[in-house]
Amino acid sequence: MSEFDLTEEEEEKLIDNIANLVVNKGIEVPAIMFLEVARPVSFIASQLAIFLLGPLQWLFDLRGPKYTALFMKKENVGKIIDRIEALSEAKS
């Protein structure tokens, strides 16, 4: 199992982390718009992140590989959007 393989539980935890951060900051609309626009290129963007963040990972103790793995699957972008919308509705 590589550092880019995620279990269902890890995926759900990361999705919750992203959605909670977005809702707590009150940036639901811009985040959803960005995710919708970025959905078609999410895999390419995740590969670029591996390339760019790889050398810096040890320096800053980043959890980048886990979040990068999350965006390798396009369906996870939809899950993040759904979770943001659900949390936003529950908040208001």
* pLDDT tens sequence across 33-74: 999 998 888 888 877 777 776 666 655 555 667 877 888 888
Q: Print the SS3 string covering 48-71.
A: HHHHHHHHHHHHHCCCHHHHHHHC
Q: What is the pTM of this model?
A: 0.81
Contact 52, 17 (CB under 8 A): no
CA 37-41-44 angle, to 5 degrees, is 150
Report the share of the chain in percent with pLDDT over 70: 82
How is the chain split into domains, by residue range? 8-91
* pLDDT tens sequence across 76-92: 999 999 999 999 999 87
